[in-house]
């Protein structure tokens, strides 16, 4: 009996070593991070996202930076063809038509997309972009942009009430609540976990074409919130593409004063969502330092401990 037990342990150890070797040998996911204009601190968010992704060993990230707001955008024409994944950290002037077409071609050919935080504020008048985000806010969004979407009585609600799209109360810690625990991004993660101080986007509206609602959080009126359970992490139903949208991760004033992005939960869900968007699978183990419902944890150097 003991020999059989040790044999199984040896087989399991061999399997794990083989899996680790395959992961280490795999080519990194070629990733394009678009930034350069934003009402948020992209000078912090861009290098931090690059660090988080590349420190995992799973991604190689190229950052492309647009001209500054109001400048000539006609030469901003990234080549998407070399990439498996595009991460959007942009909220600013319209891209040239050729760039819009190339981006849509990338998505429609199966390229993965991560919509990060204020990128869902961008391009309120671009219908396809708003479908890629599913929900957005500000920039004149209202009932013509689509319904409010939130979680109530055990289901997702689409509310066509009139009103502006996009708001948030004061920054604070809050608990994320799982709504789909079987999706590759969330499988094995806690049903509830405490996120670090961050904005909590609420009253977001748009086409509402959410495929899998992963996590919500309660937007407490005491912090200036909506009083609703708001969708904050989800995947998007758009032409069969893999799109991961996270509303978490408001950039702080510096890489060292940056609690929302230093949060282990933000980093791990970003990594898992990015891997899924690029490949359709998640091969990352659930880390031991992931937050619990009562205790937040941080990775201040943006790498696994």
Measuring CA to CA, how many Å separate 237 from each of 232, 240, 276, 303? 16, 7, 14, 31
Alpha-carbon span 283 to 157, nearest angstrom: 32
Low-confidence ranges of the chain (pLDDT < 70): 1-25
Q: List the CATH number of the domain containing 177.
A: 3.40.50.880
pLDDT in tens, 118-152: 999 999 999 999 999 999 999 999 999 999 999 99
* Structural domain includes residue 298: no
pLDDT number for residue 26:
77
* Structural domain includes residue 95: yes
pLDDT number for residue 271:
98
List CB contacts of 144: < 8 A, sequence separation 6 or more.
none
Residue 90 burial (CB count, 10 A): 24
* Structural domain includes residue 3: no
pLDDT number for residue 9:
46
pLDDT number for residue 25:
44
Domain that includes residue 267, residue range: 28-279
* Structural domain includes residue 284: no
List the one residue out of 125, 56, 51, 43 whose CA is nearest residue 89: 43
* Structural domain includes residue 191: yes
**Chain centroid to CA 280: how far?**
15
* Structural domain includes residue 176: yes
Q: Count of alpha carbons within 13 Å of 225, Cβ hemisphere only?
A: 21
Q: How many domains does the chain have?
A: 1
pLDDT number for residue 16:
42
List the one residue out of 232, 303, 293 whose CA is nearest residue 261: 303
pLDDT number for residue 294:
98
Element (H, E) at 116: strand 112-116
List the one residue out of 293, 299, 239 whose CA is nearest residue 270: 299
Q: What is the DSSP letter of 141?
A: -
* Structural domain includes residue 40: yes
pLDDT number for residue 305:
74
pLDDT number for residue 12:
41
* Structural domain includes residue 188: yes
Q: Are 201 and 232 in contact (CB under 8 A)?
A: yes
């Amino acid at each position: 009996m003991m020999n059989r037990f040790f044999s199984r342990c040896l087989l399991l150890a061999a399997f794990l070593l083989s899996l680790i070797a395959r992961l280490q040998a795999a080519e990194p996911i070629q990733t394009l991070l678009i930034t350069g204009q934003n009402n948020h601190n992209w000078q912090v968010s861009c290098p931090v996202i690059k660090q988080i992704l590349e420190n995992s060993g799973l991604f190689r990230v190229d950052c492309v930076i647009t001209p500054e707001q109001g400048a000539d955008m006609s030469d901003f024409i990234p080549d998407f063809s070399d990439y498996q994944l595009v991460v959007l950290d942009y909220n600013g002037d319209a891209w040239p038509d050729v760039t819009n077409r190339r981006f849509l071609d990338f998505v429609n050919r199966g390229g993965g997309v991560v919509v990060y935080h204020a990128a869902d504020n961008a391009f309120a008048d671009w219908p396809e972009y708003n479908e890629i985000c599913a929900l957005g806010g500000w920039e004149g969004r209202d009932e013509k942009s689509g319904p409010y979407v939130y979680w109530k009585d055990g289901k997702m609600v689409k509310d066509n009430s009139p009103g502006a799209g996009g708001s948030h109360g004061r920054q604070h810690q809050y608990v994320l609540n799982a709504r789909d625990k079987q999706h590759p991004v969330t499988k094995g993660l806690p049903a509830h976990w405490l996120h670090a101080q961050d904005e909590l986007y609420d009253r977001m509206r748009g086409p509402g074409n959410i495929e899998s609602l992963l996590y919500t959080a309660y937007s407490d009126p005491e912090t200036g919130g909506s009083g609703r359970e708001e969708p904050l992490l989800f995947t998007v139903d758009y032409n069969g593409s893999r799109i991961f949208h996270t509303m978490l991760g408001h950039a702080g004033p510096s890489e060292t004063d940056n609690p929302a992005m230093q949060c282990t939960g933000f980093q791990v869900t970003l990594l898992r969502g990015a891997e899924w968007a690029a490949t359709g699978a998640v091969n990352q183990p659930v880390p031991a330092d992931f937050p619990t419902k009562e205790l937040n944890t941080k990775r201040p150097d943006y790498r696994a401990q």
